[in-house]
Structures are given as structure tokens and as C-alpha cells.
Structure 1
Amino acid sequence: MNLEMVMQELEALGKERTKKIYQSNGAHEPLFGVATGGMKPIFRKIKRNQPLAEQLYVTGNYDAMYFAGVIADPKAMSEADFDRWIDRAYFYMLSDYVVAVTLAETDIAQEVADKWIASDIELKMSAGWSCYCWLLGNRPDSEFSEEKLADMLELVKNTIHDAPERTKYAMNNFMYTVGVSYLPLHDKAVTIAKEVGPVEVNRDIAKSKFLNASVNIQKAADKGQLGFKRKYVRC
């Protein structure tokens, strides 16, 4: 299948209701409103195809960009490729659920994520923290430096309340993921999540909300989910 054929198939799968949901989360035109599950039949026909993924990603069409992540071959992508992708990711569903997820399947994931976290650019930081969440929820604990993750928890404690909005979400999720999926630092994550307390987000709209990693780690513990690892990063 070529670019034009894939775009036609995606357009045919689009639904106005799904489109409105994506737009309420920050997506903008062009987009069709394709449910992610609806993309699976197209993926089965194409499998991994990095050249086609690159063509889809540069269209700027949200559904095409998302599908690019589905068919991407992460091992064929360099740091420069990921930098290009993150620069085009204009809202969190692309930065955290396409670019970060794809990056998490590479050997350079931590190295690139570290640079993004240090960038002071909201969606880059968000993608960096999110990448660690995908990694921690999938890879063995032995692949991580306990000291490094402990330092990252301290960084969250010291900076989360003043971080940009989407970065707050990703940092909060990092505390939760360390607490649930990285057993060597479970206790430290619990302690820091309690110290951080509720994190206010969406302060710029009428009704802000609060994230609470401490409560959610406890819920996961109560359900016997500590040590959880998913088999695959991408579904």
C-alpha cells in the first residue's frame, strides 16, 4: 500500500464523534477521527514500514501521524529522526502516545529521553518522562540504574508543581509507574508521592483538577499489581 491508499482507508474509517473527542484533547485539522482499534486491519496488511511511516507522519494529519507510530520500525530510527518527530508532535497524544511509545522500543530510549527531559520544552519533557513510563512498564528492572531513577524521583519532587501542564501529567505518571513497576524503588516512590501530594493541573480553565500518584499507587498495591510489566509497548 502507498501513502494515497492508506490515507483513503483512514478517511473511510473516520467518525465525526471520534474526531470531536480528539479535537477536545488538542488535535486540530486535518484529521479524520479514526478509532485506534480500527487501524488494526490496515496494520495487518502493511506490518512495519518505516519509509511509509515517515510519509504519513509529515502529512500533519493526526490519524496519519498516529498510524505512522503503529507501522514505524523504531530500530530503523536515529536520534535525529526522533527529534524530527517530537518537533512535529503538536499535542500530547502525539508526543506521549506516538513518539514516546515508538522511542521506548529502541536501544537509545533513555539517552534521548534524558535530553528531552532537560530541554525545558513542555511536550519534549512530557515525552521524555512518558518514555520512561513505557520503559519501566515493559522492561526488566535490571535494565535501569536505581541511583538514576532515585535522582529522577527527587527531580519530580522538587519541580513538578512548577512544571508545564502536560509535563506535570507525565511526571506524576512517572512517580506512579516507578511505584508500581520498578520494585527496587517502590518505597521511595511511595514516600515521594506522599510528599508531593495532589498536583493541580488545568489551572487556566474554570475547573482545575488534581492528580494524586500516592492514592493511585496504593490502589494498584491493593489490587496486587505491584511489579506489573506489559508484554509489548505498542499494542
Structure 2
Amino acid sequence: MHDMTLAEALGELAALEDPKMRAANEKRGDDHGINLSRMRAVAKKIKTDQPLAQELWSTGETAARLLALLICRPRDFTADELDAMLRETRPPKVNDWFVNYVAKKTPLAEEMRLRWFDDPDPTVAAASWSLTSVRVAKDPDGLDLPHLLDLIERDMKDAAPRPQWSMNETLATIGIHHPSLRVRALEIGERLQVLADYPTAPGCTSPFAPIWITEIVRRREG
């Protein structure tokens, strides 16, 4: 099979567009109408294709960008390309997939984490906190965890929604993976009450840090 062209890829996406799904997605800020498992099937057909991914991304269209994130090769992006891409990830699903499928997978993850850490753009700062959560869990050597807790304690309550969510994730990750800091992490969560009233489906763990930490620790030690 020949490599798929940009026009062919956009045609495949257009054929999957569903007005009802678009209406549901747009309520969440995602301006596309494609069932994501069907989009993944298109990506599977294309396999990894970095040049096509970059063409899809440059269209600026949400569906095309989601497909780009599924077929790109994260290690092929430069630091400046990653930075520019992140700053354009306004739709929530594009942001989520960029952070999880590209930023967390690039060999430049630590360089980007530091570059994005104090950025005034909340989307950029949030990505840094997401990368920080990964390091807290997998490679905490060299991180000043008490200082991270100081920053979370100071800034999380009044942070914009994206960085607030990511800081909360880092708070929970510290509490789960670092028993010596667990009591302090629980205390910060209880005092700030961030996401305490977040609606949680039955069978799912609440993102409220004290519940999240306690539940995961119980499962691990149970």
C-alpha cells in the first residue's frame, strides 16, 4: 500500500464526521465529530508517518491534529517544535493526547519539563506539572519533593483549571509513591479542598487527592 497523502487522510476523517458526536464534543471544547476508536483505526492503517503527521498538524484542524498525534514519532520533534505545538493545544483532547502521547514519550521530556515549569501560559505550566508527576513516580532522584509540595500548597488553590488538575495529580503522586511525605500530602489536600466535590462515576476513584492517595495505597498494600 502506498503512503497515505494529506488529502486522503483528510478524506478518511471527513467520512467519519458525525454531527451528533460533534455536538456532544463541542460541549467539552473539542471541535470535531469523530468516534475516537474509529480515528484510531485510521491511524493503525497509516502506521507511523512523521511527514504526514506534520502536514496534518499544520492544517490547524482538531480532528487532523488528533490523527497527527497518533501517527507521529515523538522523538523526531525538536524542543522548539514541541513548545510551539503545546501552545496551540487549546481543545482538551488535543492537549491530553499531546501531553500523554508526545511530551511524555520524547527523549526531551525532562528538558521540556524544566523549560515549561514557570510559564505564564496555564496550558504550558500544566504540561510541566504532568511531566513532573511522571518523574515523581518513576525517577524522583534529583527532585526536591518537599519544595514541590510547598509550591502546590501555595499555588494550587487559585491556579487555572489545567495547571490545577496537573498540580493535584503531582500532589497525589507524591502521596502515593513517597510514604515519608504522605501525611503532608494528605494535609495539603484536605486543607485546600481542590476537586473535593468533583463528580465521580461509580467504580471510579475521585481525583480529590486525599481520597485518591488513600484508595491507591490501600490497593497496593492490600
The alignment's TM-score, normalised by the length of structure 1, stands at 0.78
Structure 1 residue 5 and structure 2 residue 1: aligned? no
Say if 1:129 and 1:170, in contact at 8 Å, map to a contact too: yes
For structure 1, which segment, 153-162 or 217-226, has the greater mean C-alpha deviation from structure 2 after superposition? Answer: 217-226
Q: How far off is 1:155 after superposition?
A: 1.4
Q: How far off is 1:189 after superposition?
A: 4.4
Provide the residue aligned with 1:21 in structure 2.
24
- Spell out, residue by residue over 1:47-97, the C-alpha distance to the aligned partner (whole angstroms, 9 max, x if none): 111111111112222121111111110111110110110121113332233
Question: Letter of the aligned partner of 2:129 in structure 1?
Answer: W
Q: Distance in 1 between matches of 2:151 and 2:67?
A: 33
2:212 aligned to 191, 201, 216, which one?
216
Q: Distance in 1 between matches of 2:49 and 2:136?
A: 26
Q: Distance in 2 between matches of 1:60 and 1:222?
A: 44
Say if 1:156 and 1:171, in contact at 8 Å, map to a contact too: yes
Q: Distance in 2 between matches of 1:73 and 1:149?
A: 31
Q: For 1:140-179, list aligned pairs within 5 A.
A: 141=138, 143-145=139-141, 147-179=143-175
- Spell out, residue by residue over 1:189-229, the C-alpha distance to the aligned partner (whole angstroms, 9 max, x if none): 4522432321159xxxxxx8585211111122233389xxx
SS of residue in 1 equivalent to 2:144 = helix
For structure 1, which segment, 186-195 or 121-130, has the greater mean C-alpha deviation from structure 2 after superposition? Answer: 186-195
Provide the residue aligned with 1:232 in structure 2.
none
Moved >4 Å (runs of 4+): 134-137, 208-211
Say if 1:100 and 1:128, in contact at 8 Å, map to a contact too: no
Provide the residue aligned with 2:89 in structure 1.
89
The alignment's TM-score, normalised by the length of structure 2, stands at 0.82
Provide the residue aligned with 1:131 in structure 2.
131
Provide the residue aligned with 2:203 in structure 1.
none
**Structure 1 residues 97 and 149, CA gap change in structure 2 (3 angstroms):** farther
Any unmatched runs of 5+ in structure 1? 202-207, 227-235
Q: Distance in 2 between matches of 1:99 and 1:23?
A: 21
Any unmatched runs of 5+ in structure 2? 200-206
Structure 1 residue 69 and structure 2 residue 65: aligned? no
Give percent identity, aligned residues only: 22
RMSD, aligned α-carbons: 2.5
Q: Please tell me whether Structure 1 or Structure 2 has the larger radius of gyration of its CA atoms.
A: 2
SS of residue in 1 equivalent to 2:113 = helix
Q: Distance in 2 between matches of 1:173 and 1:81?
A: 26
1:191 aligned to 166, 184, 197, which one?
184
Q: How far off is 1:160 after superposition?
A: 0.4
Q: For 1:47-58, list aligned pairs within 5 A.
A: 47-58=47-58
Q: How far off is 1:15 after superposition?
A: 2.3
- Spell out, residue by residue over 1:81-138, the C-alpha distance to the aligned partner (whole angstroms, 9 max, x if none): 101101211133322332453011122102212221210211111122123345666x
**Structure 1 residues 145 and 164, CA gap change in structure 2 (3 angstroms):** same
Q: Distance in 1 between matches of 2:66 and 2:53?
A: 9
Q: How many residues align?
A: 210
